[in-house]
Amino acid sequence: MDGNGRWAQQRGLPRIEGHRRGVASVRRITEHCVEAGIEQLTLYCLSSENWRRPPTELSFLMHLLEQYMIEERALLLRQGISVSMIGSRAGIPAATLEAIDQTHALCAGNQRMHLCLAINYGARAEITGAVRRLVREAQEGTILADDIDEQMVAARLDTAGQPDPDLLIRTAGEMRVSNFLLWQISYAELWVTDTLWPDFAAADLDAAIRSYSSRVRRFGGLSPS
């Protein structure tokens, strides 16, 4: 969800106003995904590298996230959306984690769509953690090193049990994946738009879906024709 800061700067506003406006886009796009029948939506809220930003901005982001998790509960319940978090909990304020955990528990029975929030997340750290778990299990003798396959690795990632993404959308014209779900997006279709995240609307999402639906996914093989 790129472009919050640039959106604010273009309007002579503080960067935090861009983040505030970005939350409205989250609400708008989440609702539209439900209406479109999408079963899984993952939002990259904060990368593990984003801690390099000014402390005041990070503090505001944590407060905004806490506020979102509390204020959106009625919407999440009404729309049948379950919520989970991937990423490290280290460094995230206790109040923010409590709000996330409470919303997760409250919405656990919802089955219409799953909303996954990547917070303090980095794919390299995620994969490293999975490798450590596999090594530990091999050392304990519960698995054999020679038996380790892709399914065993995937089962130890933060996203275990979730489907791999079909479509990766990048806003604000960014042409990189920025350490996001590196294992999981191996065969995802990419769609990039110059639209900044606060301006990202349902029509933009529809355009991404139309582009995706027109593509032939070969997964390394040949097209049916």
Read off the pLDDT of residues 107-149 as tens digits, 9 standing for 90 and up: 999 999 999 999 999 999 999 999 999 999 999 999 999 999 9
Asked, for residue 89, whether it belongs to a domain, the answer is yes
How far does Cα 176 stand from its chain's mean position?
15
Asked, for residue 220, whether it belongs to a domain, the answer is no
Asked, for residue 221, whether it belongs to a domain, the answer is no
How far does Cα 20 stand from its chain's mean position?
18
Asked, for residue 123, whether it belongs to a domain, the answer is yes
∠167-172-173 over CA atoms, to 5°? 75
Q: Which domain holds residue 44?
A: 4-210
Is there a catalytic annotation at residue 2?
yes
Asked, for residue 162, whether it belongs to a domain, the answer is yes
Under DSSP, is residue 45 helix (H, G, I), strand (E, B) or coil? strand
Say if CB 182 and CB 86 are below 8 A apart: no
Under DSSP, is residue 192 helix (H, G, I), strand (E, B) or coil? strand
Give pLDDT tens digits for 203-217: 999 999 999 999 988
Asked, for residue 102, whether it belongs to a domain, the answer is yes
Average of pLDDT values for 91-116? 97
The phi and psi torsions of 76 (rounded to 5 degrees) equal -60, -40
CATH code at 19? 3.40.1180.10
How many domains is the chain built from? 1
Asked, for residue 224, whether it belongs to a domain, the answer is no
In this prediction, residue 69 carries a pLDDT of: 96
Return the biggest CA–CA distance within the chain: 60
How far does Cα 136 stand from its chain's mean position?
28
Asked, for residue 43, whether it belongs to a domain, the answer is yes
The phi and psi torsions of 43 (rounded to 5 degrees) equal -115, 130
With bands split at pLDDT 50, 70 and 90, how would you rate the model's confidence at 76? very high
